[in-house]
Structure 1
Amino acid sequence: MSNDLHVFVRDGQVYTSLTALLLPDVIPYEPPWDPWEDYDRSPDDSDTPLTTRWAYGTRPWFPLIPLNPSFNGPIFECLNHSRFLLLTEVDTQGKHILHCDIRGKWVDLEQKLLWCMERLGAGLLIPWGTKLPRPPTAYGYQRSHTDANLAKKVAMRSCNAFLLIAATCSWHIMSRQYRNPGHAWTALLTDDPKYPIPAEWVLELSRSFVGDLTTNVPRTGALISSIHCPWQVQLPMFERFLILIWVRQTSAAVDSTLRHYVPSEAAIARATEALQWGQTHDSTWGQPDDSSWGQDGGEQPVSAAPEAHADSLFPIPQPHSGQMRGEDWKTFFVRRRDVNKKKEETETPARRQSRQSRERAAMNHSIPGKSSTAVVFEWQSNDEFGGFYECIHLTKAEIPMTWTLYSKSTRVYDSFRNEWDLCDVLDPTSVPNGDWEEDDFPLPPAPSEPAPAPLPPPLSSFLRDIETHFGRYEVAPSAQYTRSVERFVSILHFHLGYQLAASTSTPRGRSTTFNDWARKTHWTHLCKLIGDDDNANITSIPDAQKHVITCFIGYLVTLPQSQLSDIPPDLWDLGSQPSLSASNAHI
């Protein structure tokens, strides 16, 4: 058995993985699978994009959803908002809606990502039955709501929906790189004959969590039952790119696609023994299939569970909340689950009947009333401690308004303690029950024929991302430019007036002197002429763009000053109508 196969044991279940050293914090409910019918019977995964889920044949893009992505850079910085700092406004009807400035940027980003998803997926062999994610607009960020907190919650749900589109783009990129390793996927976007996307924008996309397919970007991964693998074609690709895949071993027949995930009996025994030695509820670290701890020279495994640090980095928990200092919400619910399981083992029949009766009564009431003895806690993010979630007790007066901001999937009832926990991070994209608009908003019917292709975004939308982001920084002298594409483009654009939207077609009106100069000039010499001595860092610029840049510099070098106005205006922005110099303070 391979050294790369790791074996885990949790709650009596055996899991294996070739790409993961840890199990997910929470193993979600496994939906039933019927080989004669559709086996995707669980709720739509697009409503919970930030957690590891079971594999579904209709959503092979789901394992590529980035975990805790960094919304920086010119493309995704418009999503860099927390729920508590997100701006809303009141519309003409007195309702609350996402601020128009943010809303406009999200609309532009949605259009650009949908267009990229369409172009990157064009011509690929998509598995039959694949369902692409719904656009973020379908999650409600452009609609108004009766409450500001509700408008923020719906906006954050929509913000998470952008990750679904991003994951699908990553899936298309991965598919292309897996089948054609030597082909640059960026050329599909930059060299489109009708609607080319600026190379600078595509370069930033390749550096983001969309184009970075290395392990530097953690992703959700997926769980698979050994009975059936819905991704016979996708699984080898996921393994090649080290996407986290866990396989739950069953006593039933094993799918032939997953035979290399079947552990030996000795490996299972070692993982079980490691669990008994450890202090956690499961074997946090997987045991390699051929490990030899316990034998000569072997080391005894130790628990790798993080300990709660009771120091100034964490707030002091509220009395009677049950939360320990430094304990995050995930650890809290796991610990309480284990405590309740032990209580249930020693529970008398009479107490069990009383507890279950109390639980049914709590579930049948929409909200704890004034006469209810149930205690309600809300998990609130504390910005003073880096967004750490702490368990806060709600008063009777606070319960009605707060309760409506949560849904069935974000309310947890503990029948042993007669307590409710309201925690939106349990399901970040859930629909609040208190939003009657959301409850009555029907999902779009399944189309009888394929949806039309998205409209191409205007070129100015891509350029605005680059200019807005990099235009905020002072332009230094040429000798001080850093060795990067951003600075190289900054020199051309802000210093020399090069149009980022310059056409890749052959420039017109070229003289013999111009042609001779362009033919003799090498790219490395041109880079030094502009001020970037390290041309190795800008090799990602497409050849078509290199040619246009060479022609642009050729005009500046060969034309006398009196004829510079002859440079085509779509190539030079400092001609007869210098819009760039009028709008940019750096020139």
Structure 2
Amino acid sequence: MASPHTPSVESTSLQYFDGHILNSRGVFGVHYGNPSVLLDIPLPEEAPAPTVSNFRSSDFRRPSWINPNFPQLLLLPRSNPFYGPIFSCLNFNKKTVHTERVETMPLGDTEPRVRWGLQQDLIDRWLHLESLLLLTLHYMTVLHGGSAAEGVYTFPTPIHYCYTERNANSPSDAIKVALNSRDAFLPLMAHLSLMFLLLEAKNTDDGWRQQLNRYTRLPWQWIGDLEASAVGDFTIERLGGIIDLTQSKSHPDHRIPQHVRWLLPYLLGKHLVPLYFFYGHVIPPTEPIPDALLEVGFVPTIEELAYLRSRSGAVTFSSWSVINDSVWKRRSGAHPSTSSLSPSAPTLPAYDSQAPFDSPPTATYFPAVERDSGQKRGEDIHAFMERRRLHNEKRAQHESPDAKSRCLAQERHASKGAPPGKKGARVFIWEEEEGFYIRHACNRIDTADLWDNFTPAQRVYDSFSNQWDLCTALAPDEEAEPDQSLYDVGDDDDFFPFHPPDSQTPSIPSAPDVPGREVIQRRTGERAVEVLERAYDLHPDDPAEDPDNLPGWQKQDVLTAIRFRFGFEEPITNANSSPQIQNTPSPWCSWCVGDANWAVPETSALPTLLQHILQSDLQEAAANLSDMTSAASELALGWDVAVTILNQGSEPLYELCSLGSESSEPSILLESAATVLQVVRSGWGGIEPTIRNLVRLGAAFSPGWPRPTDYRTPLAPHRPTLSLGCRTSDYRPTLVDFAAYVQRRDAFVRSSRGRTALFYGGIVGRIACLVLSDFEDVACLEPSEDVLQTGARVSRRNGEGELHFETLTKEEINLICGVYTIETGQKSSATEEGQQLKFISWWPTPPAFYLSGLNTGWWNANCERWFVKRLKDIHNGQATLMTYTQWKNKIRFNKTARKVTEKLDKVAAQYLAARFA
């Protein structure tokens, strides 16, 4: 006899199920089913919808039978949503929440009264958050034209659950109040998610966001952060719910099918929302079926029921699959196979590149990991630590003496055990979700609050990445707080203070007469600035990036640059023998060598050489002006690096290898012939020192990793789109916007993919060096296969295999440069949305920088002066964001210098072609 949880067929490792199942209660239609639910779908009395007056924490973390008044609960996030700049103040559990003792002297009493409650600072943060969420919800509802649908109500707001009162009789009661109040934010977040979904479906452009910004005066960064959170990010999985389609019209919840009918078209096949439709035992169903299900044919038939009954097991399965973007049908080979059972014209896309399965997996479900956290999905903390240890061993092999000294100093500071300061190490806290620990970044303020909740053994510092990891699983037997009685918080309902709203209405209920009521009632968008300033740790008097002391750049002597970039040394005799060219120093000469403040000596022959370069002809120049024209120069002798010209398209690509290098050692790929000769002249030696010097120089190159010709990497993993969001044409940036950009940019650059920015040179490379303190060591590391497989490849000569190198996507480069999308309000057929778009940015994108007079092939003194001034203007509120055209005009500077850079590459390419002819 089959056990109660024996599925009808062997399980697989897939993580969702679409199709029909049969258990003792009847038939369920399943849309994106959660495997942990399918084998044991709860009864209505086991998982009722949460009530407004009483609920347990688990009620918002498991699928329930949907109440028609609160369909927004379908959109509750499956995993912990309390992360990011907006919601991190809610991220605590019964052991980490901060409560405090409160003493008052009631009138007429002789002894102080002792009560317990949340810390006042946390109360203030929650009040501000709640008021801003309610302001946002109110105007989103207005923009929608009223309530989501008839009979859809707003859940009582968090302040109804008494977190402001600080009147609990014991610490454990205070913790209960805090937990209940925190969980009351969940239905509020779900309601906002519902409004995002409806407004997106109703509007074909971003006009509603512009109206929301105008009505509320909420900063654009607030709207962007809210959309990037669990509220507006519909790439995250939702909790979903169970929908009873068997109830007759006489049932008090008869409105359920009506509510499903209006909501289903927004969910089916569009979002990761598990839906469990209960059809019962009577097939075909006698009660009305929502049109959305009928349209895709996702309704059990007599034949389907017979097939389910023919299979063994307490729970039997009939999976359905996607065969293209518009057809959804039973899995090939499933019985019965008559075409009449296949649904027609559905709109259910594939959620996974793998085939659907016939039964839910028994493997552990792995929650999604935080973007740019460094954790891989399915990786626990011990596996993460081991992977990082092995990675650090490789880094140690390439570690410079300066980097080693820096790491040792950081380790000595970390050994003190104090939380890091503003410019100290990054902190990640591992939070348990569905029995699994997920790594979340923590800002400085929250770190200071949570630090002492972890014992020293539960805090691990890594000097290579300059990061702390805090996790109770590192020492599960240790407790930071010995008094466990404080945390003896059960699921009983003995203590549940609650102020019921005056009436259950679709509108947002008014705040009860409790402390903080005036904050809730005085909802203003300007308050969001204060919330975001704290979230991004913004202190105008102490900026995270000090323009007067920027790391990541070391000034190169001008004479050294002239010698190694141009192959020029002052001749012993004056080189003015050329009759065509006058030796007159001009300002453009200083721009050509990267420092406008450097005065060209009047007797120098450098202007003569630069004039010949402008004419792309060094043959007429005196032999002693350039080593490219002198047969006696060191350049004409043997080189300590092997150079190969790879013909890739119309432009040559140069491969540099160490003489006698190992087959596993990377090559260096360069597009600039002038940079190739600079490497040769500089005599840096092997590949690793060359990589270090090129990164320090700010030149563009790519380490190429050898792979055989038949090498094939697996499919690249899905990468979420990176974007700073959309703004209106009248958008004016603030320091909050810049701080948010810096936080997202830095998190990406520190990721395994982000280090690729070091190889782009120019503005992208300079920003990467600013973010990565150990950028030279990082540049020398071999990339992981999952990063390399998303890059590019070139074929080596003579069939010697291929070179694979890392690349960034356009979205990733735009994130590094701080690009925002602007809707001009004009129509355009050039975009899918039909709206004319333009793009503005904090920094010029590579195409604009490439055409600038700043671009001489390396990051020079002119570049750094401009970079520092721009950063100062940003911090002083004097910077404007510019389009590509505006940037191109703004940083044009000296056109002749740019022409010299182009011509130098041309004559260098001619020299290399002749040498290797």
TM above 0.5, yes or no, is yes
- Is residue 248 of structure 1 aligned with residue 278 of structure 2? yes
- Aligned counterparts of 1:67 and 1:175: Cα–Cα separation in 2: 20
How much has 1:107 moved relative to structure 2? 0.8
Q: Secondary structure at the match of 1:446?
A: coil
Contact persistence 2:20–2:29 (CA under 8 A): yes
Q: What residue number does 1:131 align with? A: 153
Q: Relative to structure 1, is the Cα distance of residues 491 and 96 closer, same or farther in structure 2, using a 3 angstrom cutoff?
A: same
Aligned match of 1:237 in 242, 266, 282?
266
1:444 aligns with 2:501: yes
Q: Do the aligned residues in 2 keep the contact of 1:475 with 1:490 (CA within 8 Å)?
A: no
Query: How far does residue 78 in structure 1 lie from its aligned partner after superposition?
Result: 0.8
Deviation per CA, 1:399-426, whole angstroms, max 9, x where unpaired?
xx89994455xxxxxxxxxxxxxxxxxx
Amino acid paired to 1:306: A
* Residue in structure 1 matched with residue 222 of structure 2 by the alignment: 201
**8 Å Cα contact 1:284-1:304 kept in structure 2:** no
Which residue does the alignment assign to 1:361? none
Give yes or no for contact 2:140–2:195 (8 Å, CA) kept in 1. Answer: yes
Pick from 819, 833, 837: which aligns with 1:538?
819
Q: Deviation at 1:300? A: 10
What is residue 168 of structure 1 aligned with on the other side? 191
CA contact (8 A) 1:294 1:300 kept: no
Paired position in structure 2 for 1:8: 21
Q: What SS class does the counterpart of residue 60 from structure 2 fall into?
A: coil
* Whole-Å separation in 2 of the counterparts to 1:494 and 1:129: 39
| Number of the residue aligned with 1:466 | 532
SS at match of 1:220: coil
Bigger strand fraction: 2
Would you say 1:78 and 2:89 are equivalent positions?
Answer: yes
Which residues of structure 1 form unaligned runs of 5+? Answer: 33-39, 314-327, 331-382, 390-397, 409-431, 498-526, 551-570, 577-587
Q: C-alpha root-mean-square deviation of aligned residues, in Å? A: 5.2
- Deviation of residue 68 (structure 1)? 1.9
Of the three residues 63, 68, 72, the one matched with 1:61 is 72
> Is this contact kept in 1: 2:115–2:170, CA < 8 A?
yes
Paired position in structure 2 for 1:360: none
Shift in Å at residue 111 of structure 1? 0.5
How much does 1:13 deviate? 2.3
Alignment counterpart, residue 211 of structure 1, candidates 224, 232, 236: 232
- Cα gap change, 1:240 to 1:173, in 2 (>3 Å): farther
Separation in 1, partners of 2:526, 2:356: 61
| Structure 2: 5+ residue stretches without partners | 1-16, 104-112, 248-256, 322-328, 338-354, 366-379, 383-432, 436-470, 478-483, 512-519, 554-721, 740-762, 768-811, 826-836, 842-872, 879-917
Contact 2:536–2:736, Cα closer than 8 Å, also in 1: no
Cα offset for 1:133?
A: 0.9
SS in 1 for 2:156: coil
Within a 5 Å distance, the mapping from 1:472-491 to structure 2 comes to 474-475=544-545, 485=724
Aligned-residue offset at 1:116: 0.6
**CA contact 1:199–1:541 (8 Å) conserved in 2:** no
Counterparts in 2 of 1:537 and 1:60: CA distance versus 1, 3 Å: farther
Residue of 199, 203, 212 corresponding to 1:189: 212
Distance 2:84 2:552 in 1: 22
The residue type paired with residue 105 of structure 1 is R
Give per-residue Cα distances to partners, 1:305-325, cap 9 Å, x unaligned: 2379xx998xxxxxxxxxxxx
Shift of 1:125: 4.4
Cα distance change of structure 1 residues 312 and 88 upon mapping to structure 2, 3 Å threshold:
closer
Amino acid at match of 2:735: H
In 1, Cα distance between the equivalents of 2:170 and 2:265?
47
1:493 paired to 2:735: yes
1:342 corresponding residue in structure 2: none
CA distance in 1, matches of 2:475, 2:264: 36
Change (3 A) 1:492 1:197: closer
State the partner residue of 2:331. 291
Alpha-carbon distance change, 269 to 105 in structure 1, aligned in 2, over 3 angstroms: same
**Which residue does the alignment assign to 2:115?**
95
**Contact 1:270 1:287 (8 Å CA) reproduced:** no
State the distance in 2 between where 1:444 and 1:495 align.
Answer: 37
Cα distance in 2, alignment partners of residues 58 and 495 from structure 1:
38
Deviation sequence 1:360-410 (CA, Å, 0-9, x none)? xxxxxxxxxxxxxxxxxxxxxxx7338999xxxxxxxx9xx89994455xx
Asked if the contact 1:7/1:16 (under 8 Å) is kept, the reply is yes
Partner of 1:24, secondary structure, is: helix
Query: Is the alpha carbon distance of 1:459 and 1:283 closer, same or farther for their aligned partners in structure 2, counting shifts above 3 Å?
Result: same
Structure 2: how far apart are the matches of 1:69 and 1:205?
15
Q: Using the TM superposition, give the Cα deviation of residue 120 of structure 1 relative to its aligned residue in structure 2, in angstroms.
A: 0.6
Specify whether residues 94 and 13 from structure 1 end up closer, same or farther in structure 2 by C-alpha distance, changes over 3 A only.
same
Q: Which residue of 2 aligns with 1:516?
A: none
Describe the SS at the equivalent of 1:91. Answer: strand
Letter of the aligned partner of 1:220 in structure 2?
L
CA spacing shift, 1:103–1:128, aligned 2, 3 Å: same
Q: Relative to 1, partners in 2 of residues 1:209 and 1:312: Cα closer, same or farther, differing over 3 Å?
A: closer
Structure-2 separation of matches of 1:29 and 1:387: 38
Cα distance in 2 for partners of 1:254, 1:495 equals 53
TM-score normalised by L of structure 2: 0.37
**Which among 448, 462, 472 is matched to residue 384 of structure 1?**
472
Selected match of 1:30 from 28, 44, 47: 44
SS of 2:114's equivalent? coil
Q: Letter of the 1:99 partner, please give it.
A: Q
C-alpha distance in structure 2 between counterparts of 1:14 and 1:471, whole Å: 53
Task: Say which of 301, 318, 321 aligns to 1:264.
Answer: 301
Q: Where in structure 2 are the equivalents of 1:293-332 lying within 5 Å?
A: 293=333, 304-306=361-363
Is the alpha carbon distance of 1:46 and 1:78 closer, same or farther for their aligned partners in structure 2, counting shifts above 3 Å? same
Distance in 2 (alpha carbons) for counterparts of 1:274 and 1:77: 47
Displacement of 1:476 after TM fit?
7.0
CA 1:299–1:183 in 2, change beyond 3 Å: closer, same or farther?
Answer: closer
What is the alpha-carbon distance in structure 1 between the residues aligned to residue 262 and residue 174 of structure 2? 41
Give 3-state SS (helix, strand or coil) of 2:277's partner: strand
The corresponding residue for 1:106 is: 126
Indicate the SS of the match to 2:217: coil
Shift of 1:108: 0.7
Equivalent residues of 1:284, 1:305 under 8 A apart: no
Q: Which has the higher relative contact order, 1 or 2, with Cα contacts under 8 A spaced 6 or more apart?
A: 1
Q: CA deviation at 1:164?
A: 0.8
Q: Which has the larger radius of gyration?
A: 2
1:5 Cα offset (Å): 5.5
Moved more, 248-257 or 178-187: 178-187
Q: Secondary structure at the match of 2:242?
A: strand
Percent identical among aligned pairs is 17
Report the count of equivalent residues: 402
On the 8 A contact 2:101/2:117 being kept in 1, the answer is yes
Letter in 1 for 2:210: A
State how far apart, in whole Å, the 2-side matches of 1:99 and 1:300 are: 49
